[in-house]
A and B are shown apart, each in its own frame.
Chain A
Amino acid sequence: MFDLILQGAPLLFTMQTMLLIAAGIVGGLVIGVLPGLGPLMGIVLLLPVAFHLPPIPAMGMLIAVYIGGSAGGSISAILLRIPGTPLAAATLFDGYPMAQKGRSQDAIGLSITASALGGLIGGVMLVFFSPMLAAFALRFGPPEYAAMALLGLTTIIVVSEGSAIKGLLTGGLGLLIATIGTDEFTNAYRYTFGNFNLTSGPNIVAVVVGLFAISEFLFQIGGGGFLDTPRLQKLVISFRALRLIASHKVNLVRSALIGTGLGAIPGAGGDVSAFVSYAVARKFSKPEDGYGEGAEGGVVATEAANNGCCGGALIPSLSLGIPGDASTAVLLAALFLLGFFPGPELFRSNADVAGGIFLAYLTGNVILLILGIVLVPFFGTVLKLKKAWLLPIVLLLSTMGTYALQNSVFDLYVMLVFGGLGFLLRRAGYPLAPIIIGIILGPVLENNFRRSLLLSRDGPMIFVERPISATILTVVAIMLCYIVYTLVRSGRQDTAS
């Protein structure tokens, strides 16, 4: 574990990397503050930039956006009662009442401090558990990877927002998109329609930018209010929160650990962990703490959890190559593009890169603590940014970034097509995250499934003859039974009503 850190240190402690992490934190906070955008959007917009950077500065910047974006959503939740991101929805319960009582400065300070410290606790767990999980996964072969990919897909569907059926459908769409390109086993072209641009499938960055950034752009246009500016309380720089949080130590650590644990389960995500840790903190509170009426503990619990969750989500992502949520799925895509394959081999063959990523995550949280507090007045200004300015910037960044990937106009078409598709799916209430998870996990599932059958001397029995593969598949079977059970039950309830 410490070897990884030592090997990664020289890659991290360069001026370029540190500046990019700081820029990523600020960028993440800004994009988290802006309602409707979030860490995923930040990562998506910077993905094309990262593609042209060395691996650790690139991953450091993207991870910093992930951290900053996860923390930034609380600021608009506290000041405007509009969570900047779904992750900050639970922060409303006590953050906004604190602001109503004239304590917006304290609420923001506590949310940033709890986010940073929660993220650091999640980071320690990441550094501790990832190498252990990766070492265990060295025993994995193609059957185990196929089973893990199936588990990842099933979990995402179980916990996807909206109905499981809609999650299944969009997950299936992701799997279909993943089949476009060249079959890696026979070198045959699949669904390329004679277009050489599709021979390696649609560019994943163009797909992600389209699905998330362009669809959000279209949604925001539909929402109107291009010239609206909110009225805010005056904000100043204050380090008082560092003293205040000392009285919430147990709540902080407990919430961060809940966040990390839930984050490590593919699909659970930061919003789930924030609500769960809020419920736990409230359960352990005294009536005089006044949860729901502006309790400091409520803000600490939700923010420590949703940033601890980032560290947790990176554990299966880095050690197994199975993303914890849509943001980590895009981070994995970035790692692929930079030439590294997440999983046990990353820890074995590129220990310096794995260590550099760990350190970037930890450093990002330290920088968040400092910059998050120092820049509070600036975030107030950001919240006043009119949509009329913001939306063209999003469109410009999306278009320039996507084109710059390969100087390809075709990638822009891909971006626009997936932008329209994402918009239509969101309007119909279908979750988009399973599409990305499907695109990332589809090739892992297909290739390892086919490879397993080629390796097997006993046909499909290879999946049940190997104990780890059999165990994972049993878990998948239980989850599928659960999905069917809930669908049947909700169908009966609908009929009865």
Chain B
Amino acid sequence: MKPSLRMLALAVGAAIATGPALAEFPERNIEAIYPWAPGATMAASQVIADAMGEELGVNVSIVSTPGAGGVKAFQTAMANEADGYTLIDGYVAPLVLQPMQGNADWSYEDFTPLWSATSNAFAIAVRKGDERFPDLDALMGYAQENPGDLRYSPGTSGSLPHMVAAKVMQTEDALAQLVPYPEIDNAVRDLRSGILDFIVINPGVYRVNKDDVDILAVLSTLDRSSETYDGAPLIGSLGIDMGMTDLSPMGWDWWLVSNDTPDDVVTTLQDAMGAALAREDVQQKLLDMGYVPTLYGPERYDEIVGPVEEQLSGAVDAIAWEVERMQGL
């Protein structure tokens, strides 16, 4: 080997050897795997991703990977290397619900939290000006007297809104026929035309359709949830205790990474997400879309997520109760 070639080889070898050591995370774009089809909720995640990208100096893109109630997104993310370039937009359904139902083999403890992102309360809505149901009492009264006669949709069957609605109906001993609509927009259409009697929606859907629906009850115990439905009554204020409090009856997401992710990378991501969520413009954008920034830091992950499973098990039972009662009619 000529001296010049040897020097070149040494230089290249040195560059390769020292490269990883000198490289600082992140060097390239980051993907956040999102478990649902694109829509209003994904737009909220994109707001956070954009702000986080600005903090990190790289692009953070939301990759919609719907399927199997969110399980596919988690599996897709976990199949990637735990290097911090794949984040999980960890919604409650795939994080807590699916493992509870035996559809996934992980627990929330298998993931390292960055920050909690947003929450959104669900609400029971009827067609605007529907004289049959001026309030929740009238709706529940009808469903008690005419079990299985009303048609309702919480979107997808077995989803969190379905569980919460079933829990309320079980509490009230009221029964209605479930009609699944994976695209909730179509459920709103059929509510408007009178085919459905009531639906369970989130604030994003409410914002778009507020001229067509009346909110009878917000299914949350948190005062600020009412604000996202323009002051509609909370379920508790109507004298109904659905046995679920705080985040349990709500849709929420924590951004997560695999437990195998290096500590320094996790710290960088946590700092960036914390800084992004602390920005007033980001918070305002999310609120405008109907999503409340929860602002729980990673240190509160166990305290917040841990109790959810216990409270949700009651809601899972409510769906079984609904199925059994409908089959008995």
Contacts and interface: CB of A to CB of B under 8 A. Distances in A.
Interface of A: 138-139, 141-142, 181-182, 184-187, 189, 196-197, 199-201, 337-339, 341, 344-345, 349, 406, 408, 447, 451, 454-455, 457
B183 to A, nearest CB: 6
B236 to A, nearest CB: 30
B76 A349 contact: no
Contacts of B15: none
B189 A182 contact: no
Contact of A196 (B42, B63, B71, B177): B71
Contacts of A406: 63, 65, 76
Interface of B: 37-39, 42, 63-69, 71-72, 75-76, 103, 149, 151, 156-158, 177-183, 185-186, 189-190, 193, 195-196, 208-209
Contacts of A344: 189
Contacts of A337: 38
Given A181-B67, A454-B179, A455-B177, 20 more contacts: A141-B190, A142-B190, A182-B68, A182-B69, A184-B157, A185-B180, A187-B68, A187-B103, A187-B156, A187-B157, A189-B68, A196-B68, A200-B72, A337-B38, A339-B37, A339-B38, A339-B39, A349-B185, A454-B177, A455-B151
A139 B193 contact: yes
Interface hub of B103, B157, B195 (most chain A Cβ within 10 A) = B195
A199 B71 contact: yes
A349 B208 CA distance: 7
B318 to A, nearest CB: 16
A341 B185 contact: yes
B188 to A, nearest CB: 8
B186 A338 contact: no
B39 A184 contact: no
Given A182-B67, A406-B63, A339 B180 contact: no
Contacts of A184: 156-157, 180, 182
Given A141-B193, A451-B179, A454-B179, A345 B69 contact: no
Given A196-B72, A345-B185, A406-B65, A186 B157 contact: yes
A339 B72 contact: no
Contacts of B149: 457
Given A196-B68, A451-B179, A454-B151, A142 B158 contact: no
A337 B76 CA distance: 18
Nearest to A448: B186
A189 B182 CA distance: 15
A338 B38 CA distance: 7
B232 to A, nearest CB: 21
A187 B65 contact: no
18 contacts: A141-B193, A182-B68, A187-B69, A187-B156, A189-B68, A199-B68, A200-B68, A339-B37, A339-B64, A344-B189, A345-B185, A349-B185, A408-B76, A454-B177, A454-B178, A454-B179, A455-B177, A455-B196
A339 B193 contact: no
Q: Which 5 A-B pairs have the closest CB atoms?
A: A200-B67, A339-B38, A199-B68, A199-B67, A196-B75
Nearest to A186: B157
Contacts of A338: 38
Contacts of A454: 151, 177-179
A455 B195 contact: yes
Nearest to B181: A451
A201 B182 CA distance: 15
Nearest to A450: B180
B201 to A, nearest CB: 13
Contacts of B103: 187
Contacts of A197: 72
Contacts of A451: 179-181
B195 A142 contact: yes
A181 B64 CA distance: 16
Contacts of B209: 349
Contacts of A187: 68-69, 103, 156-158
Contacts of B189: 138, 344-345
